[in-house]
Amino acid sequence: MGGSRVQVNKAHKSRFSSKSSRNLHKTSDKDRHAISKAERNVGKGARAARIQRSKMIRDQKRAAVLKEKRELSGSRSPPRVIVLFALCASLDLESLADDLLSLLSKDTCVVLPGTVASSEYRTRITVLKAPHGDLLSCMEMAKVADLMVFVASAKSLCEETDSNYVDSFGNQCLSVFRSLGLPGTAVFIRDLPSDLKQRNELKKTCTSSLSSEFPEDCKFYPADTKDDLHKFLWLFKEQRLKVPHWRTQRSYLLAQKVGAVYEGNSEKCTLLLTGYLRSRSLSVNQLVHVSGAGDFQLSKIELLKDPCPLNSRKNQDLMDADEVNDTEVIGSLVPDPLNHEALVVENIPDPLAGEQTWPTEAEMAKADEDQKKRKIKKRSLPHGTSEYQAAWIVDSDESDFDDENDDGMVLDEGEDGLPGKETNKYSEFDGDDVSLRLGDSEEETDNDSVMMEVDNLTREKIQDELKELKEAHAADEEFPDEVDTPLDAPARKRFAKYRGLKSFRTSSWDPKESLPQDYSKIFEFDNFKRTQKHVLAKALELDQENCKHCIPVGSYARLQIKDVPSAVASKLCLLSKRMPVTTCGLLKHESKVSVLHFSVKKHETYDAPIKSKEELIFHVGFRQFVGRPVFSSEFINTDKNKMERFLHAGRFSVASIYAPISFPPLPSIILKISGENASPVVAAVGSLKTVDPDRIILKRVILTGYPQRVSKRKASVRHMFYNPEDVKWFKPVELYTKRGLRGRIKEPVGTHGMLVMLETFTINLTVSTLTVNYLMGRIQIICYLVKDVPVNSMILIVV
d(CA 36, CA 388): 77
Instruction: Give domain status of residue 746, yes or no.
Output: no
Report, as an integer, the average pLDDT of 764-779: 39
Instruction: Give domain status of residue 476, yes or no.
Output: no
Instruction: Give domain status of residue 400, yes or no.
Output: no
Instruction: Give domain status of residue 155, yes or no.
Output: yes
d(CA 613, CA 433): 12
Measured from the Cβ of residue 289, the count of other Cβ atoms closer than 10 Å reads: 24
Report, as an integer, the average pLDDT of 1-30: 63
Examine the domain organization and report whether 76 and 225 are in the same domain: yes
Q: What sections of 630-762 are H helices per DSSP? A: 724-729
Instruction: Give domain status of residue 364, yes or no.
Output: no
Examine the domain organization and report whether 547 and 676 are in the same domain: no
Of 21-35, 709-723, 777-791, where does the model show the most confidence? 709-723
| 786: phi then psi, degrees, rounded to nearest 5 | -125, 135
Q: Which amino acid type is present at position 575?
A: L
**pLDDT at site 70:** 67
The mean-pLDDT minimum among 104-113, 140-149, 283-292, 579-588 falls in: 104-113
Instruction: Give domain status of residue 574, yes or no.
Output: yes
Share of the chain above pLDDT 70, in %: 70
CA distances from 619 to 255, 612, 740, 798 (A): 19, 18, 43, 12
Label residue 251 by pLDDT band (50, 70, 90): very high
Measured from the Cβ of residue 39, the count of other Cβ atoms closer than 10 Å reads: 11
**DSSP calls for 511-542:** TTTT--GGGGGS---SSHHHHHHHHHHHHHHH
**pLDDT at site 396:** 41
The mean-pLDDT minimum among 306-310, 468-472, 708-712 falls in: 468-472
Examine the domain organization and report whether 142 and 77 are in the same domain: yes
Examine the domain organization and report whether 557 and 677 are in the same domain: no
pLDDT, one tens digit per residue, over 693-719 is: 988 888 888 887 777 777 777 778 877
What is the count of structural domains for the chain?
Answer: 3
Strand partners, 69: none
Question: Which string of b and e fits 703-733 if b means at least 16 CB within 10 Å?
Answer: bbbbbeebeeeebbbbbbbbbeebbbbbbbb
Label residue 669 by pLDDT band (50, 70, 90): very high
The mean-pLDDT minimum among 47-56, 131-140, 642-651, 783-792 falls in: 783-792
Q: Which of 190, 213, 243 is the last residue of a domain?
A: 243
Label residue 395 by pLDDT band (50, 70, 90): very low
**pLDDT at site 130:** 92
Whole domain around residue 87: which residue ranges?
Answer: 72-243
Q: Which of 216, 243, 270 is the last residue of a domain?
A: 243
∠ CA(319), CA(321), CA(326), 5° rounding? 100
Examine the domain organization and report whether 572 and 653 are in the same domain: no
**pLDDT at site 449:** 36
Are the C-beta atoms of 410 and 382 separated by less than 8 Å? yes
Instruction: State yes or no: pLDDT of 671 exceeds 90.
Output: yes
Are the C-beta atoms of 511 and 694 separated by less than 8 Å? yes
Measured from the Cβ of residue 329, the count of other Cβ atoms closer than 10 Å reads: 11
**pLDDT at site 483:** 80
Label residue 71 by pLDDT band (50, 70, 90): low
d(CA 562, CA 343): 12
∠ CA(467), CA(469), CA(474), 5° rounding? 95
| 358: phi then psi, degrees, rounded to nearest 5 | -70, 125
Label residue 596 by pLDDT band (50, 70, 90): very high
The CATH number assigned to the domain holding 200 equals: 3.40.50.300
Label residue 197 by pLDDT band (50, 70, 90): confident
Are the C-beta atoms of 561 and 299 separated by less than 8 Å? yes
Instruction: State yes or no: pLDDT of 577 exceeds 80.
Output: yes
Examine the domain organization and report whether 568 and 668 are in the same domain: no
Examine the domain organization and report whether 158 and 282 are in the same domain: no
pLDDT, one tens digit per residue, over 485-524 is: 888 888 888 888 888 887 888 888 888 887 888 888 889 8
Higher pLDDT, 718 or 560: 560
Report, as an integer, the average pLDDT of 527-551: 88
Measured from the Cβ of residue 116, the count of other Cβ atoms closer than 10 Å reads: 24
d(CA 125, CA 81): 6
Examine the domain organization and report whether 679 and 575 are in the same domain: no
Q: Which of 185, 212, 243 is the last residue of a domain?
A: 243
Examine the domain organization and report whether 563 and 617 are in the same domain: no
Instruction: Give domain status of residue 489, yes or no.
Output: no
d(CA 766, CA 382): 26
Closest to 622 (Cα-Cα) out of 249, 330, 350: 249
**pLDDT at site 436:** 29
Measured from the Cβ of residue 198, the count of other Cβ atoms closer than 10 Å reads: 12
Are the C-beta atoms of 653 and 639 separated by less than 8 Å? no
Closest to 599 (Cα-Cα) out of 533, 666, 675: 666
d(CA 343, CA 591): 7
Examine the domain organization and report whether 208 and 89 are in the same domain: yes
CA distances from 116 to 48, 112, 531, 591 (A): 50, 7, 42, 36
**DSSP calls for 408-440:** SSS--B-TTS-BT---SGGGG--TTTTTTSTT-
Report, as an integer, the average pLDDT of 460-479: 67
Q: Work out whether strand 556-565 and strand 298-304 pair parallel, antiparallel, or are unpaired.
A: antiparallel
Measured from the Cβ of residue 59, the count of other Cβ atoms closer than 10 Å reads: 10
Report, as an integer, the average pLDDT of 539-562: 87
Report, as an integer, the average pLDDT of 784-799: 38
d(CA 783, CA 744): 10
Extended beta strands in 104-251, E state: 115-118, 123-129, 147-153, 184-190, 219-222
SS3 367: helix
**What is the average pLDDT value for the chain, to the nearest integer?**
76
Report whether the peptide linkage leading into residue 665 is cis, meaning its omega lies within 30 degrees of zero: yes
Instruction: Give domain status of residue 644, yes or no.
Output: yes
The half-sphere exposure of 777 on its side-chain side, counting CA atoms within 13 A, is 8
Instruction: State yes or no: pLDDT of 393 exceeds 50.
Output: yes
Are the C-beta atoms of 405 and 384 separated by less than 8 Å? no
Are the C-beta atoms of 409 and 499 separated by less than 8 Å? yes
Instruction: State yes or no: pLDDT of 662 exceeds 70.
Output: yes
CA distances from 252 to 1, 277, 587 (A): 90, 6, 12
Examine the domain organization and report whether 544 and 630 are in the same domain: no
Distance from chain centroid for Cα 57: 37
Q: What's the full length of the chain, in residues? A: 799
The CATH number assigned to the domain holding 544 equals: 2.40.30
| 620: phi then psi, degrees, rounded to nearest 5 | -115, 100
Closest to 525 (Cα-Cα) out of 595, 585, 586: 595
Report, as an integer, the average pLDDT of 156-177: 79
The CATH number assigned to the domain holding 659 equals: 2.40.30.10
Examine the domain organization and report whether 103 and 179 are in the same domain: yes
Higher pLDDT, 12 or 684: 684
